[in-house]
């Protein structure tokens, strides 16, 4: 079994749910207190042992590439001003990982974003994480997926349990046989099934680990999607893989909290939660929230 070394983070979408904020600014760069969303995602991957982070960006996403690059002028200024802690933090960001950037020339869907990284990934298993949401979990979501992959040798979808009917309009749901505590051998994967139609309460929110079979499976979905003017979603690839008899497992992320920063309300909740955990601002924020006349 090949070691999981690479992660693809698609970050080339338009972020229409967040307009006008995202007209000139990538939604992946929106700050959660003092770090952009995508940095949480990259740090999760690195902590789980990922060696190479492949960021899928576009012409309107330069700020992401710059964020993970060196900034000589800023570093010189921080050093001159004796702001050594901040200097270390800024340098740490550019040294976080071995970054590779690939551009998706047109936003043709999140499955297409994975496909443009095909040559860089090669014939290896790969983790895919969205650039606009994250899961705080112990062990991390990526680590839990890698552990499951090492146990079962299959592609892994990760998710959370939810019985909120509204979620059935937003996420993909899996159905299948339970083979272990919190592990499903997937036979059905339905994107946005709608209220009352989900095959289980396990919603695949974000976070996937694919065997290289995903690439041919995605390619095969192009005639029915992109060629017909529709977006190519990763779900199309997963369904094609299952049709080929390739096994896919879904795991429930343990000890985790999902932060969906791609929507306005999800983003606001994430900022409040992280503000309440952040040592610089937590007590003042708590007092402020308590004092609100709601």
The residues of the shown chain that bind ligand UTP, judged by CB under 6 A, are 10-18, 28, 56, 104, 107-110, 112-113, 130-132, 262
* Cα separation, 238 vs 209, whole angstroms: 11
Residue nearest to ligand UTP (CB): 13
Nearer to ligand UTP, 263 or 282 (CB): 263
To ligand UTP, the closest distance from the beta carbon of 262 in angstroms equals 4
DSSP classification of residue 201:
S
* Cα separation, 146 vs 207, whole angstroms: 11
To ligand UTP, the closest distance from the beta carbon of 226 in angstroms equals 10
To ligand UTP, the closest distance from the beta carbon of 109 in angstroms equals 5
Q: What is the 3-state secondary structure (H, E, C) of 63-88?
A: HHHHHCCCCHHHHHHHHHCCCHHHHH
- The rounded radius of gyration (Å) of the Cα atoms in the chain is 20
Nearer to ligand UTP, 26 or 176 (CB): 26
* Cα separation, 269 vs 6, whole angstroms: 30
To ligand UTP, the closest distance from the beta carbon of 231 in angstroms equals 6
Nearer to ligand UTP, 18 or 149 (CB): 18
Nearer to ligand UTP, 80 or 228 (CB): 228
Nearer to ligand UTP, 28 or 44 (CB): 28
* Cα separation, 101 vs 160, whole angstroms: 30
CB 22 within 8 A of CB 15: yes
Give the helix, strand, coil percentages of the chain, each rounded to 5.
Answer: 40, 25, 35
> What spatial distance separates the first Cα and last Cα of the chain, rounded to whole Å?
55
Q: Which residues touch 39 (CB under 8 Å, ≥6 apart)?
A: 67, 93
To ligand UTP, the closest distance from the beta carbon of 261 in angstroms equals 10
To ligand UTP, the closest distance from the beta carbon of 239 in angstroms equals 17
Nearer to ligand UTP, 56 or 217 (CB): 56
Structure tokens at 11: 């970050």
Nearer to ligand UTP, 14 or 101 (CB): 14
CB 236 within 8 A of CB 111: yes
To ligand UTP, the closest distance from the beta carbon of 35 in angstroms equals 16
DSSP classification of residue 60:
G
């Amino acid at each position: 079994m090949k070691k999981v070394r690479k992660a693809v983070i698609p970050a080339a979408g338009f972020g229409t749910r967040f307009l006008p904020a995202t007209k000139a600014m990538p939604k992946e760069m929106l700050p959660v207190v003092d770090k952009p969303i995508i940095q949480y995602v990259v740090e999760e991957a690195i902590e789980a042992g990922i060696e190479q982070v492949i960021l899928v960006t576009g012409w309107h996403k330069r700020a992401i590439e710059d964020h993970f690059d060196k900034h000589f002028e800023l570093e010189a200024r921080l050093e001159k001003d004796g702001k050594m802690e901040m200097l270390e933090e800024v340098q740490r960001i550019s040294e976080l990982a071995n970054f590779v950037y690939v551009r998706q020339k047109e936003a043709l869907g999140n499955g297409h974003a994975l496909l443009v990284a095909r040559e860089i990934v090669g014939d290896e298993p790969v983790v895919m994480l969205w650039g606009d949401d994250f899961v705080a979990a112990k062990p991390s979501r990526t680590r839990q997926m890698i552990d499951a992959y090492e146990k079962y040798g299959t592609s892994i979808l990760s998710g959370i349990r939810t019985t909120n009917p509204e979620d059935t309009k937003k996420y993909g749901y899996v159905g299948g046989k339970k083979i272990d505590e919190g592990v499903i051998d997937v036979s059905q994967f339905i994107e946005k099934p709608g209220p009352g139609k989900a095959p289980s309460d396990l919603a695949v929110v974000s976070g996937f680990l694919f065997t290289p079979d995903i690439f041919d499976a995605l390619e095969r979905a192009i005639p029915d999607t992109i060629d017909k003017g529709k977006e190519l979603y990763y779900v199309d690839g997963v369904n094609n893989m299952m049709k080929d008899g390739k096994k896919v497992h879904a795991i429930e992320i343990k000890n985790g909290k999902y932060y969906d920063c791609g929507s306005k309300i999800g983003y606001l909740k994430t900022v409040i939660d992280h503000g309440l955990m952040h040592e610089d601002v937590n007590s003042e924020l708590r007092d402020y929230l308590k004092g609100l006349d709601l």
